[in-house]
């Protein structure tokens, strides 16, 4: 057996998180910083040692765990999950930096919870056993529940209970579907479920169960309402992790479960899925335009961007009908790049709001104005990330959206037309916010008293900016590792199961 690199990436932050909590507030910051950097370093070989020529799972480990139920501790990564794992470990480093001297109340618990959550989220992306996946998927709720509830804003209790119950309700249906498939196929292995023959009715109901879990998580309109509440009330790093990684579990779930397990039902439901994706893109874009709270605005912008992910995923079935396999791959890869890119951009946007919030303790757009005069360096970052959020070419925000729009064009002009409207809407709500907050004359005395970002905040934003640019100018940095896995996925979804 080779070195259990993936297990180490999962369990190192989890165990270290418990240690951080146990040792108390004294060494918490240094320990958390060391853990996050170490976890990131440990995860890097997953990227550099990755064999991008194969779709097979890599770095696999399988240990019998509950033989009576045929549940295995089976983990591994492919080109779809690996970029998300790297994203998770990177964001964890940023989280520790962002919390360094901002969190005064019980920092050990705060940093420990984030560390544990990081391990659990990596577990979600690497699980190859359905029950293991479910356990990680659900277990992430607990630290996030505590993070929002303990360190959140005034309406934190409402927001965190809503967040927990919404996502819990979605995922229990998935549990029933997984148990049902176990009864059919006799195994909880996800890869075996991909091959499990299911008739049309079975697929339909299983698809709906998965949809309940993943549509809430990603979130899709109309089950998105927990997200703005959770984002607004969560502490800065909580919002960043929620937007950057937790939402991606939904998109990942569609790619790992819905598409390959129920390809026929996904094809059957594609119009429905495309329509609600477009509603998310267009309608939620307008909703974002009307927001007065910066965090809420970014939350709605996240939902709108996630609409692109689901659009890219489900446009595939239109293209399969046309026999355009290259277009299918384009849409799916666009969706994944959009997920990774949005991970960096949304985290950066929330951290930017956090930087201002730490100084003025307000998230209202109206309380700001002319921040550029007192915080020029910060303003440069904020404008850059806002541009990326609006999809400016050269930034990562452009790549994924462009690929999805291109794939939609191949399917249907009007779908592409509506999707492309986000280039205008996204620019409108993001840049209008920037105009009101950053530009113009100094709005009030508080803004006049602002001090520019310190080196800690500078590097926190600079690291994110580097990745946004990197993916923007060289998308192949993640594109190249996923081609084989995407081809394999295309194979799966274009083959009927009955």
User: Residues in the chain, how many?
Assistant: 498
Q: Which of 41, 44, 56, 66 binds another protein (CB under 8 A)?
A: 66
Least distance from another protein to the Cβ atom of residue 122, Å:
15
Q: Which stretch binds another protein (CB under 8 A): 165-173, 311-319, 320-328, 448-456?
A: 165-173
Q: Per CB under 8 A, which of residues 123..142 are in contact with another protein?
A: 131, 134-135, 138-139, 141-142
Q: Which of 44, 165, 424, 462 binds another protein (CB under 8 A)?
A: 165
Q: Which stretch binds another protein (CB under 8 A): 65-73, 93-101, 217-225, 248-256?
A: 65-73
Q: Which is nearer to another protein, 135 or 484 (CB)?
A: 135
* Beta carbons within 10 angstroms of residue 204's beta carbon: 16
Q: Which is nearer to another protein, 180 or 286 (CB)?
A: 180
The footprint of another protein on this chain (CB under 8 A) covers a number of residues equal to 32
CA–CA distance, 378 with 48 (Å, rounded to integer): 33
Q: Which is nearer to another protein, 100 or 168 (CB)?
A: 168
Q: Which stretch binds another protein (CB under 8 A): 50-58, 59-67, 193-201, 216-224?
A: 59-67
Q: Is residue 67 close enough to count as binding another protein by CB under 8 A?
A: yes
Q: Per CB under 8 A, which of residues 278..337 are in contact with another protein?
A: none
Q: Which of 29, 156, 224, 410 binds another protein (CB under 8 A)?
A: 156
Q: Which is nearer to another protein, 159 or 388 (CB)?
A: 159
Q: Which is nearer to another protein, 89 or 167 (CB)?
A: 167
3-state secondary structure the chain: CCCCHHHHHHHHHHHHHHHHHHHCCCCHHHHHHHHHHHHHHHHHHHHHCCCCCCCCCEEEEEEEEEHHHCEEEEEEECCCHHHHHHHHHHHHHHHHHHHCCCCCCCHHHHHHHHHHHHHHHHHHHHECEHHHHHHHHHHCHHHHHHHHHHHCCCCHHHHHHHHHHHHHHHHHHHHHHHHHHHHHHCCCEHHHHHHCCCCHHHHHHHHHHHHHHHHHHCCCCCCCCHHHHHHHHCCHHHHHHHHHHHHHHHHHHHHHHHHHHCHHHHHHCHHHHHHHHHHHHHHHHHHHHCCCEHHHHHHHHHHHHHHHHHHHHHHHHHHHHHCCHHHHHHHHHHHHHHHHHHHHHHHHHHHHHHHHHHHHCCCEHHHCCCHHHHCHHHHHHHHHHHHHHHCCCCCHHHHHHHHHHHHHHHHCHHHHHHHHHHHHHHHHHHHHHHHHHCCCCCCCHHHHCCCCCCHHHHHHHHHHHHHHHHHHHCCHHHHHHHHHHHHHHHHHHCCCCC
Q: Per CB under 8 A, which of residues 11..30 are in contact with another protein?
A: none
The set of residues, in sequence order, having a beta carbon less than 8 Å from that of 417 and lying 6+ positions away, is: none
Q: Which stretch binds another protein (CB under 8 A): 64-72, 304-312, 416-424, 461-469?
A: 64-72
Q: Which stretch binds another protein (CB under 8 A): 60-68, 83-91, 303-311, 397-405?
A: 60-68
Q: Per CB under 8 A, which of residues 169..208 are in contact with another protein?
A: 169, 172-173, 175-176, 179-180, 182-183
Q: Per CB under 8 A, which of residues 367..426 are in contact with another protein?
A: none
CA–CA distance, 310 with 221 (Å, rounded to integer): 11
Please answer whether residues 375 and 453 qualify as being in contact, where contact means their C-beta atoms are separated by less than 8 angstroms: yes
Q: Which stretch binds another protein (CB under 8 A): 42-50, 94-102, 159-167, 334-342?
A: 159-167
CA–CA distance, 344 with 89 (Å, rounded to integer): 12
Q: Which is nearer to another protein, 173 or 283 (CB)?
A: 173
Q: Which is nearer to another protein, 213 or 471 (CB)?
A: 213
Least distance from another protein to the Cβ atom of residue 124, Å:
12
Q: Which is nearer to another protein, 182 or 398 (CB)?
A: 182
Task: Report CA-CA distances (Å) from 263 to 105, 195, 207, 451.
Answer: 48, 11, 9, 54
Q: Per CB under 8 A, which of residues 69..98 are in contact with another protein?
A: 69
Least distance from another protein to the Cβ atom of residue 106, Å:
9
Least distance from another protein to the Cβ atom of residue 37, Å:
26
Please answer whether residues 316 and 493 qualify as being in contact, where contact means their C-beta atoms are separated by less than 8 angstroms: yes
Least distance from another protein to the Cβ atom of residue 130, Å:
11
Least distance from another protein to the Cβ atom of residue 180, Å:
6
Q: Which of 11, 47, 65, 268 binds another protein (CB under 8 A)?
A: 65
Q: Which is nearer to another protein, 33 or 135 (CB)?
A: 135
Q: Which is nearer to another protein, 123 or 251 (CB)?
A: 123
Q: Is residue 34 close enough to count as binding another protein by CB under 8 A?
A: no
- Cα angle, residue 54 at apex, residues 477 and 263 outer, rounded to 5°: 95
Q: Which is nearer to another protein, 15 or 431 (CB)?
A: 15
CA–CA distance, 332 with 310 (Å, rounded to integer): 9
Least distance from another protein to the Cβ atom of residue 193, Å:
15
Q: Which is nearer to another protein, 45 or 149 (CB)?
A: 149
Give the interface with another protein as residue ranges (CB under 8 A): 65-69, 131, 134-135, 138-139, 141-142, 145-146, 149-150, 156-157, 160-161, 164-165, 168-169, 172-173, 175-176, 179-180, 182-183
């Amino acid at each position: 057996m080779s070195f259990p690199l993936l297990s180490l990436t999962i369990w190192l932050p989890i165990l270290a998180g418990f240690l951080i909590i146990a040792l108390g507030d004294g060494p918490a910051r240094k320990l958390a910083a060391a853990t996050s950097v170490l976890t990131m370093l440990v995860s890097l070989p997953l990227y550099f040692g990755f064999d991008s020529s194969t779709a097979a799972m890599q770095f696999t480990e399988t240990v019998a765990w509950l033989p009576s139920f045929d549940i295995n501790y089976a983990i591994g990564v492919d080109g779809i999950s690996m970029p998300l794992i790297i994203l998770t470990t990177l964001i964890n480093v940023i989280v520790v930096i962002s919390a360094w001297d901002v969190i005064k109340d019980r920092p050990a618990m705060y940093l420990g919870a984030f560390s544990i959550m990081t391990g659990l989220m990596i577990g979600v992306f690497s699980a190859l056993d359905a029950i293991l996946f479910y356990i990680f998927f659900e277990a992430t709720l607990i630290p996030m529940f505590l993070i929002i509830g303990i360190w959140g804003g005034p309406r934190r209790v409402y927001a965190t209970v809503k967040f927990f119950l919404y996502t819990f309700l979605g995922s229990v249906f998935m549990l029933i579907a997984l148990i049902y498939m176990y009864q059919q196929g006799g195994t909880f292995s996800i890869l075996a479920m991909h091959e499990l023959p299911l008739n049309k009715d079975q697929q339909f109901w299983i698809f709906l169960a998965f949809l309940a879990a993943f549509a809430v998580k990603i979130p899709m309109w109309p089950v998105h309402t927990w997200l703005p509440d959770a984002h607004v009330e969560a502490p800065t790093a909580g919002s960043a992790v929620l937007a950057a990684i937790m939402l991606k579990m939904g998109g990942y779930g569609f790619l790992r479960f819905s598409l390959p397990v129920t390809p026929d039902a996904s094809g059957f439901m594609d119009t429905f899925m495309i329509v609600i994706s477009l509603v998310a893109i267009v309608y939620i874009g307008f909703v974002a335009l009307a927001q007065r709270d910066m965090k809420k605005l970014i939350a709605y912008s996240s939902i709108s961007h996630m609409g692109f992910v689901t659009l890219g995923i489900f446009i595939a079935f239109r293209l399969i009908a046309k026999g355009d396999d290259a277009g299918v791959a384009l849409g799916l890869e666009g969706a994944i790049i959009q997920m990774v890119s949005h991970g960096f951009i949304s985290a950066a946007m929330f951290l930017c709001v956090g930087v201002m919030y730490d100084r003025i303790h307000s998230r209202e757009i109206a309380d700001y104005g002319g921040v550029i005069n007192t915080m020029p360096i910060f303003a440069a970052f904020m404008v850059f990330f806002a541009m990326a959020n609006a999809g400016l070419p050269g930034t990562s925000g452009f790549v994924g959206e462009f690929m999805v729009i291109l794939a939609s064009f191949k399917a249907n002009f009007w779908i592409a037309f509506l999707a492309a409207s986000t280039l205008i809407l996204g620019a409108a709500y993001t840049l209008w916010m920037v105009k009101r907050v950053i530009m113009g004359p100094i709005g009030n005395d508080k803004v006049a008293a602002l001090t520019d970002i310190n080196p800690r905040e500078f590097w926190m934003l600079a690291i994110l900016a580097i990745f946004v640019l990197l993916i923007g100018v060289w998308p192949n940095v993640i594109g190249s590792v996923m081609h084989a896995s995407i081809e394999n996925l295309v194979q799966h979804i274009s083959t009927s199961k009955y």
